[in-house]
Homo-oligomer: A and B are copies of this chain.
Amino acid sequence: MSPDNGSKTTRDRLLEVAETLFAQKGYDAVSVRKITTAAGCNLAAVNYHFGNKKTLYLNVFRERWVSRAQRIRACFEENLTGCDDTSPASVIQSLAEALIKGPLTDKERLFHFQLMTREIIKPTEAFEIVLEETMKPSFEGLGQLLQPYLHESIDEERTLLNILSIFSMVLYFNFARLPVSKIIGHAYDQPFKDRLVQHIVDFSLSGLPVKEDAR
């Protein structure tokens, strides 16, 4: 035990602070000194509790990122339970709401996507954790939910491409909030999030709203 800066253990404070800094600045731009200073503990604490900087980074994913992804997944399933059916419209709306409005605070959501995107750009061991523990199970589950509603002629690859397309929109509108804000001209307030979810559902079900006589 310890005198406890802020009522949490040094180990927990290190994980929390490290996640914030790694998400905001990236692995290489964050020093062990900055982490330990922000966590209010000694420089050697990282090596004492985690062995080295890299293991601390991996534990941020193991102990914080994955559990947050599971909270999003639980929210999706809760949303879906609240629907009348499991039609594609219900599934997509539940998914979009879980990710865009969802159970995470704005900060949590930002850090979550920053960490994930950094791993996509430049994968480390943490990418395998993300892929195996959250992405693959999610895609498999969505496939089984949507498959019965799709044309029989649609093969497995097309089904996956459809799911990936929905995911791409949800992810893009989340992780690229800055350019999206600058282009649409306003911030992500609650009414816009509502319109955004509705747009994703509409677009996913019908594509562009093209005039009949112009197709």
Decide yes or no whether A206 CB sits under 8 A from chain B: yes
Chain B's nearest CB lies how many Å from the CB of A168? 3
When the two chains form the complex, which single residue of B157, B168, B179, B208 contacts A184, counting CB atoms closer than 8 Å? B157
Chain A interface category by residue count: 35 or more
- Measured between beta carbons, the chain B residues less than 8 angstroms from A146 are 208
Chain B's nearest CB lies how many Å from the CB of A23? 9
The interface residues of chain A, by DSSP majority, are classed as helix
Interface residues of A in 172-210 (CB under 8 A from B): 172-173, 175-176, 178-180, 182-184, 195-196, 199-200, 202-210
A172–B164 touching, CB < 8 Å = yes
Listed residue (A171, A179, A199) with the most chain B CB atoms within 10 angstroms of its CB:
A179
B208–A204 touching, CB < 8 Å = yes
A199–B158 touching, CB < 8 Å = yes
For the complex, what is the distance from the CA of A149 to the CA of B122, rounded to whole Å? 40
**How many copies of this protein are present in the complex?**
2
B131–A179 touching, CB < 8 Å = yes
A122–B24 touching, CB < 8 Å = yes
- Measured between beta carbons, the chain B residues less than 8 angstroms from A136 are 183
Decide yes or no whether A26 CB sits under 8 A from chain B: yes
For the complex, what is the distance from the CA of A63 to the CA of B205, rounded to whole Å? 41
A214–B87 touching, CB < 8 Å = yes
From A161, which residue of chain B is reached at the shortest CB distance? B199
Known: A117-B117, A164-B180. 6 other contacts (CB 8 A): A117-B121, A120-B175, A131-B179, A139-B183, A165-B200, A172-B172
